[in-house]
Amino acid sequence: MVIASQLRPGMVLKIGEDLLKVEESTFHVGQGKMPGSVHAKLRNVRKGSFKELRFRPEERLEDIVLEKQVMEFLYSDSDSATFMNPVTYDQVSIPLEAIGPARKFLKPEMNIPVESYEGEPVSIDFPPVVEVKVATTAQPVHQQQDNTYKYATLENGLEIMVPQFIRPGEIVRIDVATDKYVDRVRTDLKRSEKS
């Protein structure tokens, strides 16, 4: 059990039959006779949908820990994604609705932690930001153009807006939840780290 005032992003709550992962949690101070409350943005682990709930700060909630097993992404069809345990070669399928926006960034042979509850695979623990190569975009413009954006198509077919200085073939970081450009991966720094 956890007290609502102690909720942190990443915690998983069991409310009824729903498994809800805390995405955000903020404490609102009460005014006058109104007591304070905890506002939480929660993602349904099995369905991928979001909901916002309010709790009394002292309210006790059932928190659970999902088991995680790193698995290799094999393929997806119209309604599920299939992952394989690299040690036992067991395969599991997870509904695409549970994976949510991360499904656009899944690539074959990618290793991802698969989350299970009581032995049942329910979702994946996808990073909030991913690195993706720019397939096509207009040639870069460098004069005072850091705050203007242009269209770019990524290697997975997703079209996003990127700053003017981005070139085709460069790797950019993308926020998985919003499909928004975060920053450019500096390949010259990566090379110096390897040597």
More confident residue, 88 or 29: 88
CATH number of the structural domain spanning residue 178: 2.40.50.140
Q: Do 71 and 41 fall within a single domain?
A: no
Q: Do 60 and 71 fall within a single domain?
A: no
Q: Which two tokens stand for residue 2?
A: 């956890």
pLDDT tens, residue by residue, 132-161: 999 999 888 766 556 788 999 999 899 999
Find the domain containing 92 and state its range.
Answer: 67-124
| Contact (CB, 8 A) for 146 and 162 | no
**Backbone phi, psi, residue 185, to 5°:** -80, 120
The tally of domains found in the chain comes to 3
Q: Look at residue 49 in the predicted model and tell me its pLDDT.
A: 86
Q: Do 10 and 31 fall within a single domain?
A: yes
Q: Do 136 and 190 fall within a single domain?
A: yes
pLDDT tens, residue by residue, 2-16: 999 899 998 999 999
Q: Do 71 and 51 fall within a single domain?
A: no
pLDDT tens, residue by residue, 34-86: 788 999 999 999 888 889 999 999 999 999 999 999 999 999 999 999 999 99
Q: Which of 15, 1, 6, 16 is nearest to 56 (CA)?
A: 6
Q: Which two tokens stand for residue 155?
A: 């290697």
Number of Cβ within 10 Å of residue 181's Cβ equals 18
Q: Do 53 and 80 fall within a single domain?
A: no
Q: Do 136 and 174 fall within a single domain?
A: yes
